[in-house]
Structure 1
Amino acid sequence: MTYSTVMTHMDVGSENSGVLRVTTALAKRFGAGVIGIAACQPIQMVYGDGYVAGDMIQENLAEIALEMKEAEARFRSALTGKAAPLQWRSVNASVQLSDFVVREARAADLIITGPDLGWSAFDASRRVVISDVVLQAGRPVLIVPPGAEDLRLERVVIAWKDTREARRAIVDALPMLKMAGQVIVLEITVEDDTKDAPGRLDDITAWLHRHGVASTYDVVASIGDDAAQLNGLAEAQSADLMVAGAYGHGRLREWVLGGVTRNLLSHPSRCTLVSH
């Protein structure tokens, strides 16, 4: 298993420098082709009497066309000569932006993007809701924090929960795990469960070993804020990458009550591979 094709989502109107640097590093490491993708919608400018100002529409379309060209130029400038083949896909249409990315993801093994900024009425024409992509794409998604310089893979932390999503994530991450210098399987659980957790984690480390990945594990009792605790533990390990299942408890609960997935998608402190 490898990543033969990665898809790089470009936020229109942004530099995407961290995403492009990480894409370049992974494309070189895996010899992967890269598909650049961007999506926009025309701004809906309808007045009370039902008429739309034609000159405003044309101005908006021209602005979008320019931003799309700039995004493609940044993509090709960053990757030409460093990855092949290169493809570019973009759309300016009245469709849900995440739907376009999800549909095109059939062509890739991995999606690379920046943090989920969520939906905003003030920027609905430019903003892809990454949580929708994670839930619907059927592909792992690598979230790259702003300003990321590289993805070194010296230390990888697997945020383990015995859920379908976590099992999917660890399989999807295997190409990176096989290249990692050190892999730590970390489970945060309630105190009453800490005695049973080693049995589960012995299974996981044995499974990884059979796939050529040496790993260790650690079990930590939850102190209430699993997201903050997970980030702190990953920081203590100087982790370059975190691997986690996404929305194991459902997105509604995550967004209403807060949760690990919401934190990983919106405020990643390091590159994070998530799967659903």
Structure 2
Amino acid sequence: MTIATVMVYVDPEQQAEGQVRIARDAANKFGASLTGVSAFAVEPPFVAEGVIIQEMTADDLKRLKLELSDKEQWFRSVAGLPKERVEWRSSVEYPTHSWSMKRDQPTGGDQAHAGKDRSMPFH
């Protein structure tokens, strides 16, 4: 069996190193690259009677992106693999929008989607 990439979810707010290390060990076993994925969900504004009650601000987005950048550095450190074997994918947006807009773009993980019905985002 050939595996090109092992992908592991990295929780942006907490994470035990063990999950990343297991994924790293699997990548090493198969000579694969390791991809960490993480995201913060950005909820649409909450509006009541025409008044915006809660909305994500530019400062909120900046803070979330900084947290993901910090998490990327943590992930790369824990992975401990050569940089050419480690990838990072992250996003700050509403999850279904992120998936539907980006899933048809070529990525290292396209092999995982081959032959599947792409019309259903989480199929």
With the shorter chain as reference, the TM-score category is: 0.5 to 0.7
Aligned to 2:12: 12
The answer to whether residue 26 in structure 2 is matched with residue 26 in structure 1 is yes
For 1:38-187, list aligned pairs within 5 A: 38-48=38-48, 49-51=50-52, 57-81=57-81, 84-96=84-96, 99=99, 103=103, 105-107=109-111, 133=122, 136=123
Q: Post-superposition shift, 1:45? A: 3.7
Q: Give yes or no for contact 2:43–2:94 (8 Å, CA) kept in 1.
A: no
Note the aligned Cα RMSD (angstroms).
Answer: 3.2
Q: Secondary structure at the match of 1:96?
A: helix
Gaps of 5+ in 1: 110-131, 137-276
Q: Secondary structure at the match of 1:44?
A: coil
Q: Which has the higher contact order (CA 8 A, sep 6+)?
A: 2
Q: Secondary structure at the match of 2:46?
A: coil
Query: Normalising by the residue count of structure 2, what TM-score does the alignment of the two structures yield?
Result: 0.67
Q: Counterpart of 2:41 in structure 1: which amino acid?
A: Q
Q: Post-superposition shift, 1:107? A: 4.8
Q: Give yes or no for contact 1:7–1:108 (8 Å, CA) kept in 2.
A: no
Q: Quick one: distance in 1 between partners of 2:95 and 2:69? A: 20
Q: Quick one: distance in 2 between partners of 1:97 and 1:12? A: 19
Q: Quick one: distance in 1 between partners of 2:52 and 2:98? A: 28
Please identify the structure whose Cα radius of gyration is greater.
1
Aligned to 1:36: 36
Q: Post-superposition shift, 1:70? A: 2.2
Q: Quick one: distance in 2 between partners of 1:80 and 1:17? A: 12
Q: Give yes or no for contact 1:39–1:97 (8 Å, CA) kept in 2.
A: no
Gaps of 5+ in 2: 114-120
For 1:195-214, list aligned pairs within 5 A: none
Query: Normalising by the residue count of structure 1, what TM-score does the alignment of the two structures yield?
Result: 0.34
Task: Tell me: CA distance 1:2–1:99, structure 2 relative to 1, closer, same or farther (3 Å).
Answer: same
Percent identical pairs in the alignment equals: 25
Q: Quick one: distance in 1 between partners of 2:97 and 2:23? A: 21
Q: Post-superposition shift, 1:12? A: 1.6
